[in-house]
Chains A and B, each alone.
Chain A
Amino acid sequence: MTLRTDEPRDEFPGGRPTPSPIPRPPGEEEELRRLWRLPQGIARVTAVNNSQVGVWYIGTALLFFLISGVLALAIRLQLAVPGNDLLDHGTYNQFFTVHGTGMMFLFAVPIVEAIGVFLLPSMLAARDLPFPRLSAFAFWAYFFGGIFFFCSLIFDAAPDGGWFMYPPLTSYEHSPGINTDFWLLGIGFIEISAIAGAIEIVIGILRTRPPGMTLDKLPIYAWSMLVMAGMIIFAFPAVIVATALLEIERAFHWPFFIAERGGDPLLWQHLFWFFGHPEVYIIFLPAAGLVSMMVPTLARRPLVGHDWVVLALVGTGFFSFGLWVHHMFATGIPSLSLSFFSAASMAVAVPSGIQVFAWIATLGAGRVQWTVATHFLFGFLFIFVLGGLTGVMVAVVPFDWQAHDSYFVVAHLHYVLIGGMVFPVFAGLYHWWPTLNGRLLSERLGRWAFWLMFIGFNVAFFPMHISGLLGMPRRVYTYPGDLGWNLLNMISTVGSFVLALGVLLVLIDIARSTFGGGQKAPDNPWNAGTLEWLPNELYATRSIPHVTGLYPLWEQPDLPREVREGAHYLPGAPTGRRETIVTSPIEAKPQYLMPLPGPHWGPFLAGLFTAVHFMCLTVQWYYPSLVPAVLAIAMVIWWLWGLDTGADHPPQDVGGGWRVPVYIQGPKNHSWWGMVVLLLVDGTAFACLIFTYLFLWTVSPDVWPAGGGGLPGLPWLAGGLALWGLSALAIGWARRAVDRNRHGHVRIGLILAWAAMVVGILLDANAQIGTGLVAAASAYGAIASMLVAWQAFHVAVMTLMLGYTLARSAAGLLHAERRVTFDNTLLMGWYSAAQGSIALLLLHLFPRLAI
């Protein structure tokens, strides 16, 4: 595909000096600066580049950390003395729920994604990641959704079922108010924003690397983010499905979790922990990635065992999915299951151990610079190792039975979470702050902050191990004074305030620097070896470097100068717009020049309207909620409309002898990749529904129709399958028509596909209803209806996508050379048809065959 002027050489250093000739023509840099200028004034919110949105994203995550932290202090104050009445029982429940939820969903995951979208473009020397508008939308949805979530506290309507929201306590019978809905709808939709971020990160890492950065030269932080984003793609759908099921149970009384009608509260635990355990690693791995970047810099030598650390990251990503049941040891599952989940839980300590050894070996082999970041790293190592040890302890089933739901677990989880992610993130803040505003944070304040945080943390949480072993249960708002827990609790409370004081100092330091205080930083203050320390501006680096190793700045000392002078790839903006180079994922060879979208009101407004939509649902304004929903969709369409531009320029020279096209279609296109990743998410969600079906059947086969009685007849199955097949064929036929620019046929094909889908779903629903199926009557009714409803949702999505594609065709924006939109619709259409067929086969055949 790629056209070449001459055969480009792979290795520049040593051969020709640099990919682009210098000196560069005048005006090139001004052009870049003009193209990447931030909008000013109120329009600032329309900015979409990740380096700007990333900063807001980090700031918002820190704000939510503060709010959740203040709640923690209130919790600790309440527990400082026995029989305290500072917080009443109900308020206490709301506080610890919002604290845990806020920390996990609104601070920990968002901040690691935020740091990712902020750091990755410069670490990969990309002008930006592939979907800046999607990223901005994800941020705004999170921003408005998070604020709205915390507001529930003000109205005494905050969720109070614990961060894992176990039914039946959270179902309509025991939680009749709207408190739980705040959790389910608020958090459920913020997960969607996390998935959007993950798509951006995966494709950014795989496709927007600088030429020469082959898979083996990918910085370790990028590996950790790749694994993390991959985990989000396969873990988050489970919690989205779980929250959807619980919300539907609450709203319409479909009994997924109600034992009397064939449901099972354990189903929630399976789905929740299938997400919840990987979640811990989703939080920890990026932090470990940051550590693996800082350690070599601070020790001034390459990371020992780099490849092993990569293997450990990937291995942890996989193994952590096998651990969800260790949160369910106390629920009475078969002992064989217990033991291999226990075995897996212990095994996952091995990859973490590999990383810890690699860090220690690197620090030991180098000459360590003692910056604030170094302090936080040592603090992290100490705390995290302790947390890992107690983790192995609770992986032992009999011990877990003793410690379950006691303060021992609270201590363990905070050692892992605060040690494993807060300390590395704070180290990272101090370390990478200069890339944010060109200034250093204060080394002196930073040291104070570190010692306060480190000592405060241990004083606060170490005693909880003991109070837990002495029998203090978690989630109690108070306790009698004669159980020997008084002193320990008082110490914990004092410690937590010392910890908070340390955090406060960091915030003061950040504020000072934000308002222009503090020392100006040199270009590469810690002498790091990776690309984010190249001189850069909003357009990233002046030219995109040719990479030859893991630590390019150490290996090519002239690189910063060369890059600044424009001697590397893409020194200007050849097509006169924002753009970056897309490279092949393994060998990092230039493939095409990707146009990047600029500022737009769409993402901001779509985020706002999406939040308002879910807010309306929460307070049960079902009909009014349609207005913001329609508006949100309209905003998305508005921002998408201008994007699929076709090959509006001839191939361009990007340097190094590479002349690449400016548009590419089919499986190399970044948007095609985005669609495929989205379908992986979608498929995982569908798999969770199938799991739900089978799980409910294993626990309650008695509510299933037996041997074909009570099922729709087989002709319904045949008819349904035929219609899904027809829709798939019609889209395929339209594709052939697009190839030949037969626009009339394209439209007929699309309309036919749509009609087949609509008739198909009506037929399925009719067949099920015709048997007297009542969703609220039994778990079978609930899950069968849910499968049909899920497919109906896809038909609705297809209606939008097909309509959009038709509109593009009508507007003359769709033809053989401009068809990314069409190809995405095709993928989604084929997926929907396949999913519909599988759902039908399951619904019709399983009950007939099952014993």
Chain B
Amino acid sequence: MSGRSFPVTFGAMLAPFLIWAGHFGLVYAINGAVCARSPEGAMLFGYPLSVALVAAATVLAMAWVAVLLVMALRGSGPAGHVASADPRRFARWFVVAGAGSALVAILWVGLPALLVPACG
């Protein structure tokens, strides 16, 4: 088994950070594009378009990371392919800690969407 699953295993270990990065890029793109190109005063769910989209992206990203966190706590996840005990424990720990950090980071970065005007 060893070796073949490296991209999968390593990718899964980094998944919380990758989701963070995806969220960050998406949020910036939404904000930039909406402020530059959308009609003045466009609304969604009663909020300015950009704010609503950013908030939705943040909730989605956090939910996804939370799923990974729960999976890792339950023992499934990236360590599945690994045969020897030490790297398996490490991979699991890494996902749990990484998911925790990513949750905080996504929230921290997504929060301004609720607090500041989008396109000022």
Q: Which residues of A are at the interface with B, using a C-beta cutoff of 8 A?
A: 10, 206, 214-217, 307-308, 310-311, 314-315, 318-319, 321-322, 325, 333-337, 339-340, 342-344, 347, 584-587, 589, 591, 667-668, 698-699, 701, 851
Contacts and interface: CB of A to CB of B under 8 A. Distances in A.
A340 B82 contact: no
Given A336-B119, A340-B27, A347-B109, A217 B20 contact: no
Interface string B63-95: 000000000000000000011101101110110
B98 A315 contact: yes
Contacts of A307: 90, 93-94, 97
29 contacts: A214-B90, A216-B90, A308-B97, A311-B97, A314-B17, A318-B17, A319-B20, A322-B24, A333-B32, A334-B35, A335-B116, A335-B118, A335-B120, A336-B31, A336-B117, A336-B120, A339-B112, A343-B109, A343-B111, A344-B24, A344-B108, A347-B109, A586-B82, A586-B91, A587-B2, A587-B82, A589-B2, A698-B32, A699-B36
B51 interface: yes
B59 interface: no
A851 B42 CA distance: 15
Given A322-B24, A334-B32, A584-B3, A343 B112 contact: yes
Given A336-B116, A698-B37, A318 B20 contact: yes
B61 interface: no
A207 B11 CA distance: 17
Nearest to A697: B37
Contacts of A591: 3
Most chain A Cβ neighbours within 10 Å, of B6, B36, B37, B113: B6
Contacts of A339: 112, 115-116
Nearest to B79: A586
B33 interface: yes
Please provide the 3 A-B residue pairs with the shortest distance between their CB atoms, ordered closest to farther: A584-B3, A216-B90, A339-B112
Contacts of A215: 87, 90-91
Nearest to A325: B28
Given A215-B90, A318-B18, A586-B10, 9 more contacts: A216-B86, A311-B101, A336-B112, A336-B116, A339-B112, A340-B110, A344-B24, A584-B3, A587-B84
Given A215-B87, A347-B108, A589-B3, A335 B119 contact: yes
B58 to A, nearest CB: 10
B21 A318 contact: yes
A310 B13 CA distance: 12
Nearest to A668: B3
A587 B81 CA distance: 11
Contacts of B54: 336
B79 to A, nearest CB: 10
A340 B6 contact: no
A308 B83 CA distance: 23
Most chain B Cβ neighbours within 10 Å, of A308, A318, A319, A584: A318
Main secondary structure on A side of the interface with B: helix
A336 B89 contact: no
Interface in B6-51: 6, 9-10, 14, 17-18, 20-21, 24, 27-28, 31-33, 35-37, 50-51
B60 to A, nearest CB: 16
B88 to A, nearest CB: 9
A586 B112 contact: no
Main secondary structure on B side of the interface with A: helix
Contacts of B33: 698
A421 B32 CA distance: 35
Nearest to B101: A315
A806 B54 CA distance: 52
Contacts of A216: 86-87, 89-90
B24 A315 contact: no
A591 B3 CA distance: 9
Given A215-B87, A322-B24, A587-B82, A340 B105 contact: no
B113 A336 contact: yes
Contacts of B120: 334-336
Contacts of B98: 311, 314-315
A354 to B, nearest CB: 10
Contacts of B84: 10, 214, 587
Contacts of B27: 340
Nearest to B51: A336
A320 to B, nearest CB: 11
B100 to A, nearest CB: 10
Nearest to A215: B87
A721 to B, nearest CB: 26
Contact of A586 (B6, B17, B21): B6
Contacts of A589: 2-3
Contacts of A340: 24, 27-28, 109-110, 112-113
A585 B3 contact: yes
A50 B57 CA distance: 46
A699 B33 CA distance: 9
A751 B5 CA distance: 34
A125 to B, nearest CB: 19
A411 to B, nearest CB: 28
Contacts of A698: 32-33, 36-37
B86 A315 contact: no
B87 A586 contact: yes
B78 to A, nearest CB: 10
A427 B94 CA distance: 30
A340 B18 CA distance: 18
Contacts of A308: 97
Given A336-B51, A337-B31, A699-B36, A319 B2 contact: no
B37 to A, nearest CB: 6
Contacts of A585: 3, 6, 10
A216 B4 CA distance: 18
A314 B82 CA distance: 21
Contacts of B3: 584-587, 589, 591, 668
Contacts of A334: 31-32, 35, 50, 118-120
Contacts of A315: 17, 98, 101
B27 to A, nearest CB: 7
A116 B69 CA distance: 34
Contacts of B35: 334, 336-337
B90 to A, nearest CB: 3
Most chain B Cβ neighbours within 10 Å, of A310, A319, A325, A340: A340
A111 B19 CA distance: 32
Given A336-B112, A340-B110, A587 B21 contact: no
Contacts of B111: 343
Nearest to A548: B86
A336 B24 CA distance: 12
A319 B19 CA distance: 11
Contacts of B115: 339
Contacts of A337: 28, 31-32, 35
Contacts of A667: 4
A347 B54 CA distance: 19
A343 B108 contact: yes
A584 B17 contact: no
B86 to A, nearest CB: 5
A277 B9 CA distance: 29
Nearest to B48: A336
